[in-house]
Amino acid sequence: MEKAKLQEYWKINLGYLIGLLVTWFVVSYGFGILLAEPLNAIRLGGFKLGFWFAQQGSIYVFVVLIFVYVALMNKLDKKFDVHED
Amino acid sequence: MSVQVWTYLIVGLTFAIYIGIAIWAKAGSTKEFYVAGAGVSPIMNGMATAADWMSAASFISMAGLISFMGYDGSVYLMGWTGGYVLLALLLAPYLRKFGKFTVPDFVGDRYYSNTARTVAVISALFVSFTYVAGQMRGVGVVFSRFLEVDINTGIVLGMGIVFFYAVLGGMKGITYTQVAQYWVLIFAYMVPAIFLSIMIAGNAIPQLGFGGTGSDGVYLLDKLDNLHKELGFAPYTTGAKPMIDVFAITLALMVGTAGLPHVIVRFFTVPKVRDARISAGWALIFIALLYTTAPAIATFARLNLINTVSNQAYAELPGWFKKWEKTGLLAWMDKNGDGKIQYLGKKANGGDPFEGKKPEFTKEIGKSGELLMSNKPTDNANELFIDKDIMVLANPEIGRLPNWVIALVAAGGLAAALSTAAGLLLVISTSISHDLIKKQINPNISESAELMYARIAVGVAILVAGYFGINPPGFVAEVVAFAFGLAAASFFPIIILGIFSKRMNKEGAISGMITGLVFTAAYIVYFKFMNPAMNKPEFWFLGISPEGIGTIGMLVNFAVSFVVSRITPAPPEEIQELVDSLRYPKGAGEASAH
C-alpha cells in the first residue's frame, strides 16, 4: 500500500480513537468520579445519577463504544481497501 | 434431595463436561497449543475471554466487597470493565496483526532486543503466578464450604481437572472448556440474583430492581443510605474514599487489565484483525452481564443483612446465620450481654468487634446459643463479624431458594476459579517453552520437542500453583494490587508506544519498563510489607494508595521512555516498516512463529 494513503487511513483511525476515548473518559472518570457529587443531585428513579454512572451507566457505554469502533473501522478498512479477504 | 447430593450431582456433571471437551480438543501442534490454531470464532473467544477474566474473586468476593464499600466499590466495576475499551481500540487488533504467540514475542521483536524480551518474560511469570495462587485457593474454599471436604483435598481435585485439560488440549482445550465454564458461572450468578430481585424489589431484572422501591414504597438505595447513617457507616451511595484515590485505583485497574498477559493472549486466537476488535466487544458484553448484576446483589444483600440481624435477638435468627457461623464467616460476641446483635459502624462507636482478623472459636456455647471466641473484645460497641464472601455464598439461603440453586452457586464458583487458573497456567507454560526455550536457549528445537516442553511446563506450573494454594503465602490479598500495578506500569505503556510511536526504540522501552516496574514495586513493598503502619492517606504520595500507584508507575514509564528514546538513535528501518504493517489489517493471515 502506498505511503500517503496509509497515512491518511491512520490519521482517520486516530481521529476515531480520540473521539471514542474522550467519551470513555467522560462517562467513567467524569460522570462517575469527578462530577459524581453534583450529578447526584439529579435522580434517575431510585438512583442518584453520579452513583448510577459509576455502577451501571459507564459499563453500558463501554460496550457501545467498542461496537461503534468496530463498525467505523470495518467501513474504513473497505474504503481504503485494507480489509482482509 | 439434600444440598450435598445436589452439589455432588451438579459439580460432577460440570466436571464430566470439561473432561469430555478436553478429549475432543486435543492439541496436535504448538500453534494449537499456544493459540488454539488461531481458529476460534469471535463470539466463542468473547465467552472464553469472559470466563478467563472473571475469577473466583469476581464471582465470590466482588459483590460482597461492593456491599461493604458502597459507592467506593465502583472502582472495581469500572476498573475491571473499562480496560476492554482500551484493549479493543488500542491493543488487540494490532497485536493480532503482529501474529505471534505471546506478549514477550511482541516486546522482543518490536524492540529488537532479547533484554527487553527477558524483562517481559519475568514480568509475565510474576504477574501470572501471583494470580494463579489465589485461584487455587478459591477452588479449595469452594470445595470445603459446599462439599465439606478438606481445603487441601479440594485443591488437589481442582489441580487434577485443570491438569487434564490444560496438558492435553493447551489453548484449544482451555478455550472450549472456558466457553462451557462461562455458561455455568453466569447461570449460577444470575439465578439467585433474579430470585432476590423479585423478592425484594418486585422486578425480575436486578439491574433495574436495585433502583426501585421495596414493598413499602421507599427507594431501596435511600433506605440503605438511612440505615447506614443510623448505624454509623459511611453513606452507601457516596462513599468515603478521597476522590483522587478512587480515580487512581480505577485507572490502575483499567490499564492493568489491558496489560495482563493472559487477557492479551486471548486475542491471538481469532482468525482475523477485525475478529480481534469485535471479540473484545463480545467479551465485554458477557462480562458486563455479571458486572452490572453485582452492584444489585450488593444492595439487596446489604439491606437483607442489616434488616435480618441489626438489633435482633440471636435466639430468633434464621437458620442460615448459625450454619455460616460454623464456617467462621460470621461471628457474634455479646459484649453487653443483652442477647441482641448490635451491628454498628465507626461513626456510632462501632468498628472491629474483636482483635485479630478471624474469629477463633473455643468450642464453648454462650448463653444465647452462640459460639464463643477466644479473641480479645475491642472497646467499641459493635458485636458482629462478617466476612465479605458471605454475601454471594449465603445469598441463596438468605433468600430461601431451593437446594439446587445452592449447588449451582458451588459449581459456578468452581467454574470461575478453574477457568482463570487454566488461562494463567497457559501463559506460564508458553513463557517457558516458547519465550525462553525456543526463542533464547535452543532456537533449533523441533516442533514436537517444543510441544512436549510446553506440556511439561504446564504440569510443573500446576504443581507449583497447587503448592501455593495449599500453603498460601500470608500476603495473597496484598499481591493482587501488585499484579495490576505491575501490568499497568510495565506492559501497557511499551505496547502502546510500540504501536503508536515509530520513533520508540529499545533504549526507551527498556528504561521505561524498568523504571515503571521499580517505582511501582518499591512503593507497594514499602507500604504493604516494610512499613504497614504508615499505610495511611497522610503518608501516601499525592494521597494515592498502593492499589492505585500503578497509575503513577504508568506515567513514569511513558515519560522515561519518551525522553530516553529522543536522545538515543532511532530504531532500524525494518522495525519502522514492521510498525507500518501493524497499522492496517490486510494480510494478517495465519498466526505464525516461524
B288-300 pLDDT tens trace: 999 999 999 999 9
pLDDT at B281 over 60: yes
* Percent of chain B's residues with pLDDT above 90: 20
pLDDT at B474 over 60: no
pLDDT at B150 over 80: no
Contact A27, A8 (CB under 8 A): no
Q: Which residues of B touch A20 (CB under 8 A)?
A: 85, 89
| Contact with chain B for residue A7, Cβ under 8 A | no
Q: Which pLDDT belongs to residue B38? A: 75
Beta carbons of A24 and B250 less than 8 Å apart:
no
Beta carbons of B585 and A77 less than 8 Å apart:
yes
CB atoms within 10 A of CB B362: 12
Distance from CA of A6 to the nearest CA of B (A): 8
| Contact with chain B for residue A36, Cβ under 8 A | yes
Assigned fold of B3-200+227-304+402-496: Sodium/glucose cotransporter (1.20.1730)
Tell me what the mean pLDDT of segment B61-66 comes to.
Answer: 86
What does the mean pLDDT of chain B come to?
85
DSSP string covering B331-362, please? EE--TTSSSB-----GGGT-S-SBSSSS--EE
Query: Considering only CA atoms, which of B189, B212, B231 is closest in space to residue B61?
Result: B189
Q: Which pLDDT belongs to residue B215? A: 81
Contact B187, B411 (CB under 8 A): no
Q: Which pLDDT belongs to residue A57? A: 93
pLDDT at B277 over 60: yes
Q: Which pLDDT belongs to residue B286? A: 95
Tell me what the mean pLDDT of segment B231-249 comes to.
Answer: 87
Tell me what the mean pLDDT of segment B196-207 comes to.
Answer: 89
Q: Which pLDDT belongs to residue B588? A: 61
Task: Count interface pairs A-B at CB distance under 8 A.
Answer: 140
Distance from CA of A77 to the nearest CA of B (A): 8
| Contact with chain B for residue A26, Cβ under 8 A | no
Q: Which residues of A touch B211 (CB under 8 A)?
A: 44-47, 52
CA atoms within 13 A on the CB side of B3: 19
Beta carbons of B584 and A34 less than 8 Å apart:
no
Q: Cell digits for B180?
A: 462451557
| Contact with chain B for residue A69, Cβ under 8 A | yes
User: What residue type is assigned to position B433 of the chain?
Assistant: S
Query: Considering only CA atoms, which of B511, B516, B489 is closest in space to residue B566?
Result: B511
* Percent of chain B's residues with pLDDT above 70: 97
Instruction: Report the relative pairing of strands B371-373 and A47-48 from DSSP bridges.
Output: unpaired
| B217: DSSP letter | S
Beta carbons of A84 and B272 less than 8 Å apart:
yes
Q: Which pLDDT belongs to residue B568? A: 93
B386-401 pLDDT tens trace: 887 788 888 888 777 8
Q: Which pLDDT belongs to residue B169? A: 78
Tell me what the mean pLDDT of segment B557-572 comes to.
Answer: 93
Q: Which pLDDT belongs to residue A65? A: 95
Identify which of A60-74, B28-42, B211-225, B573-587 has the greatest average pLDDT: A60-74
CB atoms within 10 A of CB B63: 29
C-alpha dist (Å) from residue B153 to A23, B144, B294: 49, 8, 30
Query: Considering only CA atoms, which of B341, B237, B386, B133 is closest in space to residue A49?
Result: B237
Query: Considering only CA atoms, which of B297, B330, B322, B307 is closest in space to residue B412?
Result: B297
| Contact with chain B for residue A68, Cβ under 8 A | no
| Contact with chain B for residue A65, Cβ under 8 A | yes
Instruction: Write the burial class of residue B29 (CB in 10 Å: 0-12 exposed, 13-18 middle, 19+ buried).
Output: middle
Dist. CA B115–CA B120, nearest whole Å? 9
Confidence of residue B541 (pLDDT cuts 50, 70, 90): confident
Strand runs labelled E in B7-155: none
CA atoms within 13 A on the CB side of B468: 21
Give every CB contact of residue B342 below 8 A, 6+ residues apart in sequence.
Answer: B310, B311, B335, B336, B350, B381, B382, B383, B384
Q: Which pLDDT belongs to residue B494? A: 92
- Listed in order, the ranges of chain B carrying CATH 1.20.1730.10 are 3-200+227-304+402-496
Q: Which region among B231-245, B294-308, B459-473 has the lowest average model confidence (pLDDT)?
A: B459-473
Distance from CA of B326 to the nearest CA of A (A): 33
Q: ipTM of the assembly?
A: 0.95
Confidence of residue B47 (pLDDT cuts 50, 70, 90): very high
pLDDT at B593 over 50: no
Name the β-bridge partners of B213.
Answer: B219
B213 to chain A: closest CA residue: A46
Distance from CA of A42 to the nearest CA of B (A): 13
**Sign of the Cα pseudo-torsion (B457, B459, B460, B461, in order):** positive
Q: Which residues of A touch B295 (CB under 8 A)?
A: 55-56
B352-372 pLDDT tens trace: 888 877 888 888 888 888 888
DSSP string covering B184-211, please? HHHHHHHHHHHHHHHHHHS-S-HHHHTT
Number of H helices, E strands in chain B: 25, 4
pLDDT at B274 over 50: yes
Q: Which region among B21-30, B379-388, B421-430, B556-565 has the lowest average model confidence (pLDDT)?
A: B21-30
pLDDT at B211 over 70: yes
Instruction: Report the relative pairing of strands B361-365 and B371-373 from DSSP bridges.
Output: antiparallel
User: What residue type is assigned to position B332 of the chain?
Assistant: W
B495-523 pLDDT tens trace: 999 999 989 999 999 999 999 989 998 88
Phi-psi region of B349 (alpha: psi -120 to 50; beta: other; left: phi over 0): left
Q: Which pLDDT belongs to residue B119? A: 86
Q: Which pLDDT belongs to residue B591? A: 46
The total number of residues shown for chain A amounts to 85
A39-83 pLDDT tens trace: 888 888 888 899 999 999 999 999 999 999 999 999 998 888 888
B320-343 pLDDT tens trace: 888 788 877 888 888 888 888 888
Q: Which pLDDT belongs to residue A1? A: 58
| Contact with chain B for residue A42, Cβ under 8 A | no
C-alpha dist (Å) from residue B6 to B2, B20, B56: 6, 21, 21
Give every CB contact of residue B125 below 8 A, 6+ residues apart in sequence.
Answer: B428, B431
B412-422 pLDDT tens trace: 988 888 888 88
CB atoms within 10 A of CB B90: 18
pLDDT at B256 over 50: yes
Tell me what the mean pLDDT of segment B347-356 comes to.
Answer: 82
Beta carbons of A46 and B81 less than 8 Å apart:
no
Helix ranges (H only) for B383-505 are 390-393, 395-398, 403-430, 447-470, 476-489, 491-500
* Residue from B228, B237, B582 whose CB has the most chain A CBs within 10 Å, to mutate: B237
